[in-house]
Amino acid sequence: MAPKPTAADVVKWSVAALEVLDKAATLIAKKYARQDAFTNPQATKDYLTYKLAHHEREVFAVMLLDNQHRLIEFRELFFGTIDAAPVYPREVVKLVLEHNAGAVIFAHNHPSGVSEPSEADKRITRRLTDALAVIDVKVLDHIVVGETAVSFAERGLL
């Protein structure tokens, strides 16, 4: 019988697992970012799952894209609790303008594992879409990451 792992072993394995997930997301981004992959919902869901699924609290992120839908930057922007994160449209608009993005994809995780978009998720997506429309920036999708990843675009919610 193998010896029981120590707390230090568990921490090392957890850190190593997070590093592997981050590296996987980076490889997906490098492989697809210059090939319009972020117009492909499955590639986008895979990328965002690697980036967000491990968080124990809700994190709202923005993928800033150029006018060819290539990734400029992925930014975790707002951090919340186990079931909510405050999202401020003003801060999203500032970030988009700062990076001269032509389009965005929003994403956040549901630590509960339930990927179904809530009414609050739908409301903030509408507010953000309206705010960005004023500056001619298109919202391509909003992905909710839980046990699976759900695309607003695939559901016809955008």
Q: Is 88 inside any structural domain?
A: yes
- Taking the CA atoms of the chain, what radius of gyration do you get in angstroms? 16
- Read off the DSSP letter of residue 38: G
Question: Could you report the per-residue pLDDT of 123-148, keeping only the tens digit for each?
Answer: 999 999 999 999 999 999 999 999 99
Q: Is 109 inside any structural domain?
A: yes
Q: Is 26 inside any structural domain?
A: yes
Q: Is 58 inside any structural domain?
A: yes
Q: Residue 32 is encoded by which pair of tokens? A: 């697809």
Question: Could you report the per-residue pLDDT of 94-106, keeping only the tens digit for each?
Answer: 999 999 999 999 9
Which pLDDT score, from 0 to 100, does residue 137 have?
98
Which pLDDT score, from 0 to 100, does residue 157 have?
94
Q: Is 79 inside any structural domain?
A: yes
User: Which string of b and e fits 63-72 if b means at least 16 CB within 10 Å?
Assistant: bbbeeebbbb
Q: Is 157 inside any structural domain?
A: no
Report helix, strand or coil for 98: helix
Specify the pTM. Answer: 0.77
Q: Is 57 inside any structural domain?
A: yes
Question: Could you report the per-residue pLDDT of 52-79, keeping only the tens digit for each?
Answer: 999 999 999 999 999 999 999 999 999 9
Structural domain of residue 68, as residue ranges? 7-151
CATH of residue 39's domain is: 3.40.140.10
Q: Is 2 inside any structural domain?
A: no
Residue of 48, 125, 140, 143 lying closest to 89 (CA atoms): 125
The domain tally of the chain equals: 1
Per DSSP, helices labelled H in the chain are 7-32, 41-52, 89-99, 119-133
